[in-house]
Chains A and B, each alone.
Chain A
Amino acid sequence: MGEKDIYRHDVIVIGGGLSGLRAAIEACDCGADVAVVSKVYPLRSHSVAAQGGINAALGNSPEAKNDTWEKHAFDTIRGSVYLADQDAVEVLCRQAPETVLELEHWGTVFSRDHEGKIAQRPFGGADVPRTCYAADRTGHNLMNTLFEQASYRGITFHNEYFVTSLVVDEEICRGCIALNLRSGKVHAFNSSSLILATGGYGMIYDHSTNSLINTGDGMALAINAGAQLKDMEFVQFHPTTLYGSNILISEGARGEGAYLVNSEGDRFMARYAPQSMELAPRDIVARSIMKEIKAGRGFKDGYVHLDLRHLGADIIKERLPGIRQIAMDFAGLDPVEVPIPVQPGQHYSMGGIDVNIDGETGVKGLYAVGECACISVHGANRLGGNSLLDTLVFGRRTGRKACSESNDGHVPILKEVMTREIQRLQDLINNKGEGFAPLMSEIKKTMFDRFGIFRDEADMNEGLRSLNDLGQRYKQVSVKGSGKAFNQSLIRVLELGYMVDTAEAVALSAIERKESRGSHFRTDFPDRSDDLYLKHTIISTDDKLQRSIDFSPVKLGLFPVKGDNYQ
């Protein structure tokens, strides 16, 4: 790869996770010249960490013989507490079977049932076993398959290029500016279609299951480039993360039959969801665990037990080998013999860049897909196994759309845009204030304490004040790092900037929604209010670069809105 100042491609995809790779493959197959720009080598993306599986109504399991996309759609919409857009859910669920089969045909080694068909396990919020899996390393396996397919097609990869800003000129996106980590040089990437596939923002929270590189970059880039963010208050907390390191213990474990047990030895889910028990939707299980801990029925530092022992060594080793390995490597215990200590942790962002079902944002030429986007198919609460599906189904659609719209030639990025960005980075490097570390830990703490599993007005207002203050301090933060090659300190400072913007968006939306719905639970407004809040929150940036908040209607049509009925 030569070192040009400006790279040109019809379609540029920022992000090499599942959604980015799937979009790139589709755009390439449609005939576009495609490049993937990613701050890490694609296989280092967060998507490889996904464990439990991907949903599709294949109907392979005997209990699921009559499964249909409509049932899948119903479960998804009910799980979303009716906030998902139903046209988007229809696309997601209808195309699920062909999407999983496509990956199988491309080489993914899915786990099999005794007939040799793709095995399916039960997951929370689903009526029947619908989750296809590759042991508990589903993300890793899907990622390798897509990386193999993308590499084989000769798609260009600009690995370890960190995107620092988008270039928008007369309300049309022309590309982006990125820093080559290896050389420290700044480059422009000129596109006719640019797809953001940058993943989630777990790092703005303490106790997150996310990869350490998930700093919300794409959402911040988008809102600063004139696109809008949607439903940012909906933050999923996964009920079972390993106590201490918060590495995920997949829902697959409960799908296979693991129990949640408090310090008194009770399967306490009987109190909160007597029918679904451990497989109630994630928000309910997470809140139930927190209630147990708050009521003094947790273990010493605030955790409960996930007990797999009754499943037996064979099932654990065969279906949950990754979980067992994680428990052994990171907690020094074998779940065949002892229960795993677990606590809830931040896991997923239902909200994101506001896009339609073709991935288009409000800015021409700018698309978004995957966890950084919000179509929305997850609404107020995502079902396990629906996110991997989202990345693939909408990765394909967005790739196709971006390709078909990429024929109007390139409008070159002006030299002065680059010069300005280089100056901005130099100014950052010249800053003489405090380092990034204290600010990072304060954001994490503020978000977990004030915008966590339980929220209320006073707490959140206090939290927003802290965030604003952090925003001011950020302006002086110093890089201290030296040298051009792999100036990681500069990267972390830039990531901190994205974290500040993303956290503020979550805070503003959470304060605005004065009801409880799915993952957004307010102790001061504990009830759901369809009259007032069956709508999406939308954050925009005004002319004075201030954020403003608004609402947009939810698309209904498939299923009527009903009250909560999880038992």
Chain B
Amino acid sequence: MIVRIQRGKGERFDDYDIEVNAGMTLLELLFRIQENIDQTLAFRYSCRGAICGSCAILANRRPVLACKTTLSRVTNLKIDDHVTLPSSAKLPDGGILLEPIPKLPVIRDLVVDWEPFFNEYRKLEPVLKNSDHPEKEHLLGKDKSRELEKYTNCILCALCWSACPVVSEVDGYPGPAALAKLFRFYLDPREPKSTKRLSVADNEAGWWACDFYSNCKKVCPKGVPPNVAIGRARKLLEDEEVEK
């Protein structure tokens, strides 16, 4: 199979003709190339179990985690199953095209600069701001912990960032993951409401910038629904159900 990979800072594509089996993951494929054909290939990895968020790439223009995506899944994905992003490169016939995720500067090959993504995240101060430290744990209902879990499952892989059109359209947009994080802290009953979490992003470039493409939810490998968080935040703000 021909595997075409964007190299350097995007100045060229290299084709590798390599033996594959359909069940192997994209990450295994990348290692096979690095270890057998081209030691100069750079890509990020760590857990190889879809929990560390290192390995987001574009495979046939779909934003995916390399470690959890098999070759057969890439070649069999139907267009409407997943978000497809524009790219200038040609897909090799019956092969696979691998590129770095867009909307972040490329450092080398498939490795991008995460700083813009993490900067937005940091700006929202994602940390539990509570001052009470009871002798025991805070009591938390099962339902509440399950609701929180939906958002705490985020692994900050930046796939949603790369798939969201608003990220490139609106300057200073925190992006889906950061907004979902913010909502997670709003939801947390252990934090006093006086922290006014939602008002932090109550502006044109914040909650209100989202156009509900919902690409974030579609590409998220952990089932996090940033679009739902954003919708709920807006509703709460509109209904003035929260202290601004």
A interface residues, Cβ below 8 angstroms from B: 40-41, 43-46, 48-49, 101, 104-107, 109-112, 114-118, 134-135, 137, 140-141, 144-145, 148-149, 151-152, 182, 211-213, 245, 247-248, 322, 325-326, 329-330, 435-437, 479-483, 485-489
Q: Mark B37-48, 1 if CB is under 8 A from A, else 0.
A: 001111111111
Q: Are B140 and A437 in contact (CB under 8 A)?
A: no
Task: Decide yes or no: A148 and B145 within 8 Å by CB, A115-B139, A212-B46 being known contacts.
Answer: no
Q: Chain B residues with Cβ under 8 A from A325's Cβ?
A: 50
20 contacts between A and B (CB under 8 A): A41-B114, A41-B118, A43-B53, A44-B54, A45-B52, A105-B134, A106-B128, A134-B149, A134-B152, A151-B122, A151-B126, A211-B52, A212-B46, A245-B48, A247-B48, A322-B51, A437-B35, A486-B108, A486-B111, A489-B34
Q: Output the least CB separation between A28 and chain B (Å).
A: 14
Nearest to B68 among chain A residues (CB) is A329
Q: Output the least CB separation between B206 and chain A (Å).
A: 20
Q: Are B39 and A480 in contact (CB under 8 A)?
A: yes
Assign chain B's interface to a size class: 35 or more
Q: Which residues of B (135-189) have their CB < 8 Å from a CB of A? A: 136-142, 145, 148-149, 152-153, 155-156, 188
Nearest to B41 among chain A residues (CB) is A488
Q: Are A49 and B51 in contact (CB under 8 A)?
A: yes
Q: Does B190 contact A (CB under 8 A)?
A: yes
Q: Are A112 and B145 in contact (CB under 8 A)?
A: yes
Q: Does B109 contact A (CB under 8 A)?
A: yes
Q: Are A109 and B39 in contact (CB under 8 A)?
A: no
Q: Does B194 contact A (CB under 8 A)?
A: no
Extra contacts, 10 of them, besides A101-B136, A110-B145, A112-B145 (Cβ < 8 A), are A43-B52, A46-B47, A104-B137, A104-B138, A107-B128, A107-B190, A117-B136, A479-B39, A486-B108, A488-B42
Q: Are B49 and A326 in contact (CB under 8 A)?
A: yes
Q: Does B133 contact A (CB under 8 A)?
A: yes
Q: Are A435 and B145 in contact (CB under 8 A)?
A: no
Task: Decide yes or no: A480 and B52 within 8 Å by CB, A114-B142, A137-B153, A211-B47 being known contacts.
Answer: no
Q: Output the least CB separation between A229 and chain B (Å).
A: 24
Q: Are B127 and A40 in contact (CB under 8 A)?
A: no
Nearest to B108 among chain A residues (CB) is A486
Q: Are A212 and B149 in contact (CB under 8 A)?
A: no
Q: Chain A residues with Cβ under 8 A from B204's Cβ?
A: none
**How far apart are the CA atoms of A485 and B42 in the complex, in Å?**
9
B interface residues, Cβ below 8 angstroms from A: 8, 34-36, 39-54, 68, 107-109, 111, 113-114, 118, 122, 125-128, 130, 133-134, 136-142, 145, 148-149, 152-153, 155-156, 188, 190
**How far apart are the CA atoms of A282 and B116 in the complex, in Å?**
43
Q: Chain B residues with Cβ under 8 A from A152's Cβ?
A: 125, 127
**How far apart are the CA atoms of A26 and B134 in the complex, in Å?**
20
Nearest to A487 among chain B residues (CB) is B42
Chief secondary structure at chain B's binding surface: loop
Nearest to A145 among chain B residues (CB) is B128
Q: Are B52 and A489 in contact (CB under 8 A)?
A: no
Q: Are B122 and A486 in contact (CB under 8 A)?
A: no
Task: Decide yes or no: A43 and B155 within 8 Å by CB, A112-B140, A112-B145, A116-B141 being known contacts.
Answer: yes
Q: Output the least CB separation between B73 and chain A (Å).
A: 10
Nearest to B55 among chain A residues (CB) is A44
Q: Output the least CB separation between A106 and chain B (Å).
A: 6
Task: Decide yes or no: A144 and B145 within 8 Å by CB, A106-B128, A435-B39 being known contacts.
Answer: no
Q: Are A141 and B152 in contact (CB under 8 A)?
A: yes
Nearest to A210 among chain B residues (CB) is B47
Q: Are B68 and A482 in contact (CB under 8 A)?
A: no
Q: Are A135 and B149 in contact (CB under 8 A)?
A: yes
Q: Output the least CB separation between B121 and chain A (Å).
A: 9
Q: Chain B residues with Cβ under 8 A from A436's Cβ?
A: 35, 39
Q: Chain A residues with Cβ under 8 A from B138's Cβ?
A: 104-105
Q: Are B51 and A148 in contact (CB under 8 A)?
A: no
**How far apart are the CA atoms of A479 and B137 in the complex, in Å?**
52
Q: Are B46 and A140 in contact (CB under 8 A)?
A: no
Q: Which 9 A-B pairs have the closest CB atoms?
A: A107-B128, A116-B139, A437-B35, A148-B127, A152-B127, A486-B108, A480-B39, A486-B42, A489-B39
Q: Chain B residues with Cβ under 8 A from A140's Cβ?
A: 51, 153, 155
Q: Are B49 and A49 in contact (CB under 8 A)?
A: yes
Our pick among B108, B152, B156 for the contact of A483 (Cβ within 8 Å) is B108
Q: Output the least CB separation between B2 and chain A (Å).
A: 22
Q: Are B130 and A105 in contact (CB under 8 A)?
A: yes
Task: Decide yes or no: A485 and B52 within 8 Å by CB, A46-B46, A117-B137, A135-B149 being known contacts.
Answer: no
